[in-house]
Amino acid sequence: MSRNAEIICVGTELLLGNIVNTNARDLSVMLSELGINVFWQTVVGDNPDRLKAAVDLARSRADLIITTGGLGPTCDDLTRQTVCGAFGMEMAFDERAKRDLDAFFRIGKGGAMTENNLSQCWLPVGCTPFYNTCGTAPGCGFTAPDGTVVVILPGPPKEMNAMMRNGGIDFLRSVSDEPIFSRNIMTFGMGESAIESLLREEMNALTNPTLAPYAKEGEVRLRITAKAANRAQADAMIAPVFADVQRVLGDKIYGCDEIDSLEKAVLTALKARGETFAAAESCTGGLIAKRITDLPGSSAVFRGGVTVYTNDVKMYLGVKRETLDAYTAVSREVAVELAENVRKNLGADYGIGVTGVAGPDSDGVHCVGTVFVSLADADTTYVRALQLGEKSDRSRIRTLSANHALDMLRRRLSGLPVAP
Amino acid sequence: MSRNAEIICVGTELLLGNIVNTNARDLSVMLSELGINVFWQTVVGDNPDRLKAAVDLARSRADLIITTGGLGPTCDDLTRQTVCGAFGMEMAFDERAKRDLDAFFRIGKGGAMTENNLSQCWLPVGCTPFYNTCGTAPGCGFTAPDGTVVVILPGPPKEMNAMMRNGGIDFLRSVSDEPIFSRNIMTFGMGESAIESLLREEMNALTNPTLAPYAKEGEVRLRITAKAANRAQADAMIAPVFADVQRVLGDKIYGCDEIDSLEKAVLTALKARGETFAAAESCTGGLIAKRITDLPGSSAVFRGGVTVYTNDVKMYLGVKRETLDAYTAVSREVAVELAENVRKNLGADYGIGVTGVAGPDSDGVHCVGTVFVSLADADTTYVRALQLGEKSDRSRIRTLSANHALDMLRRRLSGLPVAP
């Protein structure tokens, strides 16, 4: 049988909405890659009674329970005691955890160690400890007397992720079977219901593998999922569906699997060609630069960027005052000069220029959502004039504008029409 | 009695980890501000049986149920039918929703309308409809025959948030009482367990209001929460606790309530002084520009920025080749020239310069996490030399570096020591 998992995230800060629950997302990705079905994600506060109730419920409907949060040194961190209590596990003081704590504070990353930190060193007897490589609270995994597999992880996302990589995933692999394998197809330029109506017959007909679309801001992704004995068998089942999707969606597809963002597609294509780009951003305000430099290795393909948030700074980059006076800052002409000047001045093979009205206020001339995106190479300068909708919010307009700029570059690099 | 709510987010994409659940976070914030306790957040897939089970469980432990997701036009969108079925609500075709759909597609934002879109127009009889101002699927609120209050919302975060603002919150206010009121205090520069040990006695002693810390990447926030008849009464209860926290944490506090980020603190202080800044970013790669321009009104205080991702681009901004040769790009000296040149060249009152090694690879000279952050005004240039930890990941190093740069600026604007 394959494991059915429930993820229980503990933290009143989640119920108050102080933080977004990235742990549930990150764990779900890891579990799906391990072939473990996640049927439930539950969030409870730092309350022992409700946490106990959540654990008892999870035992009744899942055979793998993963908790995050509530392991810290503060007085409302009660997960370890409550979960181990629910499964009748005894606790013991872990000397290695104590040594890690001493070392953590000795290298001075957390200030002086306060006594309350020692509470983190108690772990269930007979567990597989997961020591914390970038924080203080250790986690652990164990099989409870009733056969339920339990994994206890810290709440800070960086600590949780590091701990899964360093022990947690190995522990889970040892308790899972009948894996599922997926391939993801990323598209840009077509809406979800249009794609779904093109592929609905195939989606309905398929059982294993399955095909499902999901919308991401300004993009649609398709996931093909197969249950199979191994990756090779799954790939053979997935391949024909993958080919059908490619036939239907064609050059709307910008990548698959690890190429899961337009910036990764651009980074990969530029690296392969040994070329570089630069970006002059007005309404996107550094978002394109931020997104490309989020990626390790981006320094090989990104020369740099200029956030041209005022006319003076646009002119500092070389945009002509006459152009600004004649056409205003939000114009096809200024987008073109931004792209061409940032390419030339920053010594890149390609230049991107973005100017528009992200809102919430209009510039008095154009309505919110009016954006001009330009791409310049050595010979040609392309422009897309976008109307992203007066109803769209600032964040969506900025994201879509950056998506269009990156899409123009990836289409240029693939020899496709850039500005249809 | 005060309402106890459960949020049920529907979507296999959540269980597969394809997207992060911002809806649960955003709804929790709105509910807490309405004085509605959220004791549970549950995520289920696009599976009618498990959704039915989740709804039945929620009825047994909450008297307000809010669902998100599964309202779309595609065949796996089953929330409306399943939830209304569980509560025995009849459905009727809503003509206004149909007219909205026609208009939505007529203005051409979604391409041609496909027949499957009409499935979205069925709503429970007698409900309060929430029409969708930026998408296609309407939501609704109703009181079920058993007295449970039910709110059904779409999954796309922008649509969900807009729908809550345009009808959802009013509907919930009409069913809630005994409100809770909170104040949030934002700090930068001290760790969570250090703060908790400074304030533990007070935290343990308090019952109403309560005081609780929570860590955000590189920051610690404190939330004071009071149950009271009205805002004025709550403010009177919160004030003395607020004063105690200010006394203990002093200038580590950079803002409270709506000033919930360092960039907002900087934006507010600069606006009040009628001053501006500019940023030259190497390892943060546009993150500071992106964060400040995320904020409406930032054009009044942000002149622009340069992402100086190569030495050529650093020199384009005016950094001397000799400085780069003598000290390398990752140095106090280059940080200083970046801050001073970006201030001068972009015509700002303050200039920020950031250079460092965000990793994962070292530059061969400095270890990962070595970052120099500089702030220049007309007379003085300040520098912080940071060692953010070789164990830290790229994203954390970039975030902390941007936090330090913004913290230096906000301390300078408040007349506090900038680089202790």
CA of B128 vs chain A CAs: smallest distance (Å) = 23
Give me the pLDDT at residue A113, please: 73
Residue B186, SS3 per DSSP? strand
Interface list for A 215-274 with B (CB within 8 A) = 215-217, 221, 223
Of all residues in chain A, the one with the smallest CA distance to B342 is A313
Cβ–Cβ < 8 Å for B359, B393? yes
Interface test with B, best of A3, A12, A15 (most B CBs within 10 A): A15
Name the residue with higher pLDDT: A305 or B103. Answer: A305
Instruction: Inspect the interface and report whether the beta carbons of B290 and A294 lie closer than 8 Å.
Output: no
User: Which residue intervals of A115-230 are DSSP H helices?
Assistant: 157-163, 169-173, 192-205
Nearest-Cα residue of chain B relative to residue A345: B316
* Structure token digits, residue A296: 């390790």
Q: Do A25 and B15 touch (CB under 8 A)?
A: no
Of the pLDDT bands very low, low, confident and very high (cuts 50, 70, 90), residue A226 is confident
The span from the CA of B246 to the CA of B235, in Å, is: 15
Q: Which residue has the higher pLDDT, A373 or A3?
A: A373
Q: What is the pLDDT of residue A29?
A: 87
Distance (Å, whole) CA B358 – CA B388: 9
For tokens 């009748």, the residue is A88
Q: Does this model's pTM top 0.90?
A: no
Query: If you measure CA to CA, which chain B residue comes closest to A343?
Result: B313
Amino acid A1: pLDDT: 40
Average pLDDT over residues A167-192: 84
> Which is more confidently placed, A223 or B240?
B240
Predicted local confidence at residue A311, as pLDDT: 94
Residue B319, CB-side half-sphere exposure with 13 Å CA sphere: 33
Peptide bond into A360 cis (omega under 30): yes
- A26 in contact with chain B, both atoms CB, cutoff 8 A: yes
Predicted local distance difference test score (pLDDT) of residue A107 = 62
Tokens 């280059």 belong to residue: B334
Among candidates A24, A305, A316 on the partner chain, residue whose Cβ is nearest the Cβ of B21? A24
The predicted structure's pLDDT at residue A133: 86
Q: What is the rounded CA–CA span in Å between residue B4 and residue A293? A: 44
pLDDT tens sequence for chain B (420 residues): 457 999 999 999 899 888 899 999 999 988 987 778 899 999 999 999 999 999 999 999 999 999 999 998 877 788 999 999 999 999 999 999 999 888 877 765 555 677 778 888 999 999 999 999 888 899 999 999 999 999 999 999 989 999 999 999 889 877 766 667 789 999 999 988 899 999 999 999 999 999 988 777 778 989 898 888 777 898 999 999 999 999 999 999 999 988 999 999 999 999 999 999 999 999 999 999 999 999 999 999 999 999 999 999 999 999 999 999 999 999 999 999 999 999 999 999 999 999 999 988 888 888 999 999 999 999 999 999 999 977 678 888 999 999 999 999 999 999 999 986
B88 by Cβ neighbours in 10 Å (0-12 / 13-18 / 19+) ranks as exposed
Residue B354 to residue B305: CA distance in whole angstroms: 11
Contact (Cβ atoms closer than 8 angstroms) between residue A293 and residue B305: no
Percent over 70 (pLDDT), chain A: 97
Instruction: Identify which of B374, B373, B352 has the alpha carbon closest to the alpha carbon of residue B280.
Output: B352
Which helix H or strand E contains B334, and what residues bound it? helix B332-345
The per-residue pLDDT for A392 is 75
Which residue is associated with the tokens 């830290």?
A: B392
Cα torsion B355, B357, B359, B362: sign: positive
Instruction: Tell me how long chain A is.
Output: 420
Chain centre distance of CA A154: 20
- DSSP characters over B110-178: SSSPPGGGGGGGEEETT-EEE--SSSS--EEEEE-TTS-EEEEE-SSHHHHHHHIIIIIHHHHHTT--S
Q: What is the pLDDT of residue B112?
A: 67
What is the model's pLDDT at position A312? Answer: 93
Q: What pLDDT does B60 receive?
A: 94
Give A-chain residues touching B284 at CB under 8 angstroms: 293
Contact B308 A304 (CB under 8 A): yes
Asked if A19 lies within 8 A of B42 by C-beta distance, the reply is no
- At B177 the pLDDT is 66
User: A214 contacts in B (CB within 8 Å)?
Assistant: 11, 13, 18-19
| Confidence band, pLDDT 50/70/90 cuts, at residue A102 | confident
Reported ipTM exceeds the 0.95 cut: no
A309 interface with B at CB cutoff 8 Å: yes
Q: How far apart are CA A169 and CA B103, in angstroms?
A: 49
- State how far residue B89 is from chain A, nearest Cα, in angstroms: 26
Amino acid at B137: A
Render A285-349 in DSSP notation, one character per residue.
TTHHHHHHHTSTTGGGTEEEEEE--SHHHHHHTT--HHHHHHH-SSSHHHHHHHHHHHHHHTT-S
Q: Do A289 and B307 touch (CB under 8 A)?
A: yes
Q: Which residue has the higher pLDDT, A77 or B284?
A: B284
Q: What pLDDT was estimated at residue A403? A: 97
Please tell me if residue A32 touches chain B, with a CB cutoff of 8 Å: yes
Q: How many CB atoms lie within 10 A of CB B79?
A: 28
- Chain B CB contacts of A261 under 8 Å are none
